[in-house]
Structure 1
Amino acid sequence: MVLLTLAHRLHQHHHLLLISSLPLFIQFPPPLPHQEKLGLAGAMVDVSKWPLLSVLSAQEQAAVRQVYIFGTSANEAIYITHANEVFAFGLNCSGCLGTGDSVSTIVPKKLDFLQGKKVVSLSYGSGPHVLLATEDGQLFAWGHNVYSQLGNNTTSAGLSPALITNNLQSKKVTEVACGSHHSLALTQDGEVFAWGYNNCGQVGSGSTTNQPYPRKVTGCLQGKAAVGITCGQTSSLALIDNGEVYGWGYNGNGQLGIGNNGNQLCPCRLATLQGVCIQQVVAGYAHCLALTDEGLLYAWGANTYGQLGTRNKSNHLSPVQIMVDKERYEVAACHSTHTSAAKTQSGKVFMWGQCRGQSMVLPHLTHFTATDDVFACFATPSVMWRLLSVEHDDFMTASEALRKEFDSPETSDLKFSVDGKCIHVHKAVLKISRCEHFRSMFRSQWSEGQQDVIEIGQFSYPVYRSFLQFLYTDTVELPPEDAIGLLDLATSYCENQLKRLCQQIIKRGITVDNAFTLLSAAIRYDAEDLEEFCFRFCVNHLTQVTQTTAFWQVDGGMLKEFISRASRCGAFKN
């Protein structure tokens, strides 16, 4: 039997999402299969939004500190653990995983050469090739190298991470950026180095000759201190410490923002932005976004998919202001996509441009909490626009503090005893919770509300603990079989939102072996939507389902009803 490649599997998964999510206009994607954690909302980074990361176990996901998904099909991933171990997995095109070979792997492989290196910047090109900068200022490169984009003075592919030192021996690299086949590095002292493919002047050397190793970009950058770099497919930009922006390379769509569409072989200042101080600039495939220190947002370049957010699809050769509200933003774009995103100071996330194949010509408010989520769910390919950190800073939100105190013996003043085990909670939290059962218990002076320990005999420990945890965290973490018990509890306590979350878990966990058990549960708890889903699954896999133990253990009345209903659907026609 021919094995499906990782790319094919992910393509199939992505295609199914497209079909199910876009009946008329853009809808946000449903939860990904095989995720056992569901929640209402949350500000924490959720790596499960990225389809490729679903191959990691829960334990592996918990160990991730930083992660970067890249490649022409978003089928490669590099991640760094809390122990500063670097792992890679995926298709491994051109040896871009750095594993020493070009063999695809769905099992993460450790990059021993980078053991203990704390990563501060990571970027990839279209080959793909990969650049990585460490905390101590070292630059590593590997992958595709036909145009010398690795900077090692050769055109041979690099199958393992190699330290790049040409012209950088005494320099400390703090940031890296890749275009399709060229590379940039920013040093601690504000110098910009470039190398690789240079057919349009994207290396900034004043010629169109390929540059085989890092070369300092001078010209108008001479004597200036850069604080940021970014690349389009074949263009380059640098942000200076005084808020000026300089661009060079391909300019056929106006992506340099200099008022014309002629290529620039040397850095050229964006004069239109004179008088404003840019604090962040990012580049898409052929468009750019810039954010001022006052919260003004500018866009320029290609606009075929509405990625400039200007209500139309006309290119702009010079920066034009969009999203006119003066609210501090974070802007996001990636050289391999035509998607744009922004996050406001109040936490609102907008997206525009190419989103799931559709053109959105105006910024569209999403339900996301991070710009990264836009690229996970809507960009094509669904790559990361930056090295994603899942670390939390020292600030803890109220919801995170509440989450932390669930089942904490140190602070609780009430225990639920279930199956001989205790669950520690807080009366005040339950008193103000959205659960009417507990609100009534503690506001109406029920006898249970006066106790320090409440015995629960109707439900199992995993089910009742998950219910209480839901009241603290808005999330549910249970296997499908236990979710049936939680569905029973949610029905008893009239918790409709919890009931919906349980149904989603059950839908994602349905198999031939448990399908009829889940159908029985859906009927028993009057979950009509879930019942229909399970019934359709059973009909679609009728031969296998009728051979399971669960099918023949149901009562005769239900079995007759199922057979009659399946017959009416044409399940037994030849």
Structure 2
Amino acid sequence: MLTFGRGELCVFGRFRHIHLQVESWDLQKKEKTPSWTMEIKTQSESSDVNLPLVPGGYVALKPPIYHSLSPRLKAKSLALGAEHSILLTATGVVFTWGMGSHGQLGHGDLTSEEEPRAVEALWGMPMSSVASGGWHSVCISDGGDLYVWGWNERGQLGLPSRGLRKTAQQQQQNSSQQAGASCQEASTSSCEGLQEEQKHEEVFISIQAFPALLDVAPSCEIQTVSCGSRHTAAVTTVGDLYTWGWGDYGQLGHQTLASLDEPQRVEFFKTEQMRVVDVVCGTWNTFAAAVKEEVACT
């Protein structure tokens, strides 16, 4: 059974004689008959059927894809990206498969995997949870450390991002031109030191193909993490919420539309004396569950 918008319901069934009937019911009405129905022919008679609910759509008569995994892969949790999957086993081992064009599988290359493959860089470090963005992946170790890998185009890994540093570089060039004028009056050694410092600041990471340890907050462990399409949010054990990545829709919660390539605490909850207990990211938004901090009376 699949539900659609505007109170419509579609029921799909498979019959003994390989006939399929599609029905549409209006959930807002108490009628005992469907508002629309269609009998589907067999695969040999018709390869696809146009549906009024989905213009240009069709019904595939093949059963859902079923693929059994190895008995040793006792799954604890599963996270799905736009083109890849992450599986966490009961023993804390991370397996990934699917598209790897953005390094989201964490195997050190950009190749795809048809079968679940263990992320070898995490061997010996049991993980407690996994999460996936559109093209990036994260996991939390039993010790509360956060590991990230995949695409970093908008800083969603919390690592220096080329996309975000372009603006910074432009600002740097403007300041360099101003500094160049003053360098004419300053010593040559000091000018060379300034130019050398600017070169070091141009380091960035577009794709992180191996898991990298991300220091989100000093002296704080990570309790839970969630990913949007191109942003990430993490909650520490003391109840602070940190977000980073793409912020064009205000999904980072910092009262600005700026994107960030390093974790930054959402100050709203501290200001309101609230402790965050959970966070869930949508594609372009973020939801946080928080409780009011109890203030001790003096």
Structure 1 segments unaligned to the other structure (5+ residues)? 14-50, 56-88, 92-99, 108-156, 348-574
Partner SS for 1:273: coil
Partner SS for 1:345: strand
Q: Distance in 1 between matches of 2:19 and 2:224?
A: 37
Partner SS for 1:311: coil
Between Structure 1 and Structure 2, the one with more strand by share is 2
What TM-score comes out, normalization by structure 1 length? 0.33
Q: Which amino acid aligns with 1:263?
A: I
Pairing 1:253-272 to 2, within 5 Å after superposition:
253-260=154-161, 261-272=205-216
Q: Which amino acid aligns with 1:283?
A: C
Q: Distance in 2 between matches of 1:317 and 1:194?
A: 24
CA shift, 1:223, in A, is 1.0
Q: Distance in 2 between matches of 1:101 and 1:321?
A: 56
CA shift, 1:6, in A, is 7.2
Give the root-mean-square deviation of aligned CA atoms: 2.9
In structure 2, the residue matched to 1:227 is 128
What are the Cα deviations for residues 72-130 of structure 1, in whole angstroms up to 9, with x where unaligned?
A: xxxxxxxxxxxxxxxxx679xxxxxxxx99997657xxxxxxxxxxxxxxxxxxxxxxx
- Residue 144 of structure 2: which of 240, 243, 255 is its match? 243
What are the Cα deviations for residues 123-142 of structure 1, in whole angstroms up to 9, with x where unaligned?
A: xxxxxxxxxxxxxxxxxxxx
Q: Which amino acid aligns with 2:88?
A: L
**Compared CA separation, residues 223 and 274, structure 1 to 2 (3 A):** farther
Between Structure 1 and Structure 2, the one with more helix by share is 1
Aligned residues of 2:95 and 2:118 also touching (Cα < 8 A): yes
Q: Distance in 2 between matches of 1:104 and 1:320?
A: 50
CA shift, 1:171, in A, is 2.6
Aligned residues of 1:229 and 1:238 also touching (Cα < 8 A): yes
**Compared CA separation, residues 318 and 159, structure 1 to 2 (3 A):** farther
Aligned residues of 2:104 and 2:151 also touching (Cα < 8 A): yes
Q: Distance in 2 between matches of 1:319 and 1:102?
A: 51
In structure 1, the residue matched to 2:98 is 196
**Compared CA separation, residues 173 and 262, structure 1 to 2 (3 A):** same
In structure 1, the residue matched to 2:170 is none
In structure 1, the residue matched to 2:64 is 160
CA shift, 1:262, in A, is 1.9
Aligned residues of 1:328 and 1:344 also touching (Cα < 8 A): yes
- Residue 78 of structure 2: which of 176, 181, 200 is its match? 176
What are the Cα deviations for residues 329-370 of structure 1, in whole angstroms up to 9, with x where unaligned?
A: 221113xx20111111259xxxxxxxxxxxxxxxxxxxxxxx
Pairing 1:351-500 to 2, within 5 Å after superposition:
none
Q: Distance in 2 between matches of 1:180 and 1:267?
A: 19
Aligned residues of 1:258 and 1:271 also touching (Cα < 8 A): no
In structure 2, the residue matched to 1:333 is 281
Higher alpha-carbon Rg: 1
In structure 2, the residue matched to 1:372 is none
Q: Distance in 2 between matches of 1:229 and 1:309?
A: 23
After TM superposition, where is structure 1 displaced by more than 4 Å over at least 4 residues in a row?
A: 100-107
Q: Distance in 2 between matches of 1:169 and 1:244?
A: 29
CA shift, 1:241, in A, is 1.0
**Compared CA separation, residues 176 and 101, structure 1 to 2 (3 A):** farther
Q: Distance in 1 between matches of 2:118 and 2:109?
A: 14
What are the Cα deviations for residues 354-403 of structure 1, in whole angstroms up to 9, with x where unaligned?
A: xxxxxxxxxxxxxxxxxxxxxxxxxxxxxxxxxxxxxxxxxxxxxxxxxx
Pairing 1:37-116 to 2, within 5 Å after superposition:
55=9
Q: Distance in 1 between matches of 2:71 and 2:242?
A: 37
**Compared CA separation, residues 332 and 272, structure 1 to 2 (3 A):** closer
What TM-score comes out, normalization by structure 2 length? 0.62
- Say how many residue pairs are matched: 205
- Residue 318 of structure 1: which of 234, 237, 262 is its match? 262
In structure 2, the residue matched to 1:475 is none
Q: Which amino acid aligns with 1:276?
A: C
Partner SS for 1:162: coil
Q: Distance in 2 between matches of 1:283 and 1:231?
A: 6
Structure 2 segments unaligned to the other structure (5+ residues)? 13-17, 26-60, 162-204, 294-298
Verify: 1:343 aligned to 2:289, yes or no.
yes
What are the Cα deviations for residues 185-237 of structure 1, in whole angstroms up to 9, with x where unaligned?
A: 00000000000011101011111111110000121x22111111111101111
What are the Cα deviations for residues 452-491 of structure 1, in whole angstroms up to 9, with x where unaligned?
A: xxxxxxxxxxxxxxxxxxxxxxxxxxxxxxxxxxxxxxxx
What are the Cα deviations for residues 245-299 of structure 1, in whole angstroms up to 9, with x where unaligned?
A: 1111111011111243521111111124352111000001111110011101100
Q: Which amino acid aligns with 2:144?
A: G
CA shift, 1:169, in A, is 2.3
Q: Distance in 1 between matches of 2:114 and 2:135?
A: 16
In structure 1, the residue matched to 2:112 is 210
Q: Distance in 1 between matches of 2:226 and 2:81?
A: 12
Q: Distance in 2 between matches of 1:214 and 1:239?
A: 19
Verify: 1:273 aligned to 2:220, yes or no.
no
